């Protein structure tokens, strides 16, 4: 490297410092803008949370999403400003990005739909993690909620990953008290008044043993008459997700008590007549 080349580099140093200084100012301004914007978002969502009965975790999710959008927007603006400072013509870049973004937008409509649907699912509190729901043709426990997909685990252990755009109708089994109902079939030969009394005693025993029964169990009476049996219905109201456990315990307790009392639960019977034997007797 000769003396003239070194001299040219030294003369160019002030211009380099000027570019570096401008870039540092842009980065510092972007950092300040992100902090100020994040603070405004926090205040907005905090005020919204105080005025509306909305779950705090959901508000934090929405606030985090808003901060991410703000951050990436400011990053994009800062990068464009830095390129302009370095003398790069960004008009063609922005135009190309716009055309490319338009093309990607047409190809990513389902993705955008999923994200927007996920935003409203979280904001409007359709369900939460741990809820048992039916949606998009499947049912299960909500394991994970995202802006693009929701994951359900059914009772068979299978994990269903559902795009949020497909969640158009939700049945939530974990909101409010739920119904437990047991149908008991009794042979026509039994004394129904005695059976009703025994069933109510069993219902009272189960009620005293459990803390998850909100109302009942109540013996409603004979609800149907079948080909070989009378059907008696027992109804109760339980805490969410406990209805199946209550039904199982009621059935078990009824079977044990019927065995003890000698009350018959009907079962299909087949009577076979031998025509030849009947004719021989005749």
Asked if residue 89 and residue 30 are part of one domain, the reply reads yes
Position 204 confidence tier, pLDDT thresholds 50, 70, 90:
very high
pLDDT tens-digit map of 33-79: 888 888 888 887 776 655 555 566 566 666 766 776 788 788 888 88
How many domains does the chain fold into?
3
Is residue 56 packed enough to be buried (19+ CB in 10 Å), middle (13-18) or exposed (0-12)?
exposed
The pair of three-digit structure tokens given for residue 144, joined into one six-digit string: 């994970």
Asked if residue 138 and residue 65 are part of one domain, the reply reads no
- Rounded Cα distance between 172 and 278, Å, is 61
Asked if residue 140 and residue 70 are part of one domain, the reply reads no
What CATH number is associated with residue 144? 2.30.30.60
What CATH number is associated with residue 89? 1.10.287.1260
Cα dihedral sign, 169-172-175-178: positive
What CATH number is associated with residue 186? 3.30.70.100
Asked if residue 206 and residue 139 are part of one domain, the reply reads no
Average pLDDT over residues 195-223: 92
Query: For residue 117, is it within any domain?
Result: no
Position 202 confidence tier, pLDDT thresholds 50, 70, 90:
very high
Which structural domain, as residue segments, surrounds residue 231? 178-261
Query: For residue 132, is it within any domain?
Result: yes
Query: For residue 271, is it within any domain?
Result: no
Q: Tokens 């969502």 identify what position?
A: 45
Contacts (Cβ under 8 Å, ≥6 apart) of 231: 183, 184, 185, 186, 222, 223, 224, 225
What pLDDT is attached to residue 10? Answer: 47
Q: For residue 251, is pLDDT > 90?
A: yes
Contacts (Cβ under 8 Å, ≥6 apart) of 137: none
For residues 142 and 108, the answer to whether their CB atoms sit within 8 Å is no
Q: Tokens 């030294």 identify what position?
A: 10
Query: For residue 279, is it within any domain?
Result: no
Query: For residue 116, is it within any domain?
Result: no
CA nearest 247: which of 206, 214, 215? 206
Beta strands in the chain (DSSP E): 132-135, 138-145, 149-153, 159-163, 170-172, 178-187, 213-225, 229-238
Query: For residue 267, is it within any domain?
Result: no
CA nearest 182: which of 209, 210, 206? 206
What pLDDT is attached to residue 24? Answer: 82
Asked if residue 36 and residue 11 are part of one domain, the reply reads yes
Asked if residue 182 and residue 168 are part of one domain, the reply reads no
Helical pair 91-107 and 109-124, crossing angle rounded to 10 deg: 80
Query: For residue 204, is it within any domain?
Result: yes
Query: For residue 153, is it within any domain?
Result: yes
Q: Which of 18-32, 82-96, 163-177, 240-254 has the lowest mean pLDDT?
A: 82-96
Asked if residue 221 and residue 164 are part of one domain, the reply reads no
Higher model confidence: residue 117 or residue 140? 140
Asked if residue 239 and residue 166 are part of one domain, the reply reads no
């Amino acid at each position: 490297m000769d003396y003239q080349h070194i001299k040219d580099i030294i003369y160019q140093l002030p211009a380099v410092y000027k570019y570096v200084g401008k870039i540092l100012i842009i980065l510092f301004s972007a950092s300040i803008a992100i902090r100020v914007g994040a603070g405004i978002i926090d205040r907005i969502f905090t005020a919204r949370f105080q005025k509306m009965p909305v779950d705090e975790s959901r508000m934090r999710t929405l606030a985090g999403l808003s901060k991410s959008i703000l951050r990436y927007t400011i990053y994009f603006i800062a990068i464009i400003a830095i390129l302009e400072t370095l003398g790069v013509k960004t008009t063609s870049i922005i135009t190309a990005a716009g055309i490319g973004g338009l093309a990607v937008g047409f190809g990513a409509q389902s993705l955008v739909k999923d994200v927007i649907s996920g935003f409203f699912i979280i904001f409007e509190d359709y369900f939460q993690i741990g809820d048992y729901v039916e949606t998009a043709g499947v049912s299960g426990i909500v394991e994970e909620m995202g802006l693009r997909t929701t994951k359900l685990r059914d009772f068979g252990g299978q994990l269903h990953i559902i795009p949020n755009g497909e969640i158009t109708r939700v049945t939530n089994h974990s909101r409010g008290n739920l119904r437990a109902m047991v149908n008991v079939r009794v042979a026509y030969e039994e004394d129904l008044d005695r059976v009703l009394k025994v069933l109510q005693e069993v219902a009272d025993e189960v009620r005293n043993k459990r803390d998850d029964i909100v109302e009942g169990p109540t013996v409603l009476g004979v609800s149907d008459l079948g080909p070989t049996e009378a059907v008696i219905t027992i109804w109760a109201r339980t805490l969410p997700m406990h209805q199946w456990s209550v039904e199982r315990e009621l059935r078990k307790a009824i079977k044990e008590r019927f065995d003890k009392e000698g009350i018959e639960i009907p079962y299909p019977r087949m009577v076979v007549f031998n025509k030849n034997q009947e004719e021989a007797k005749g």
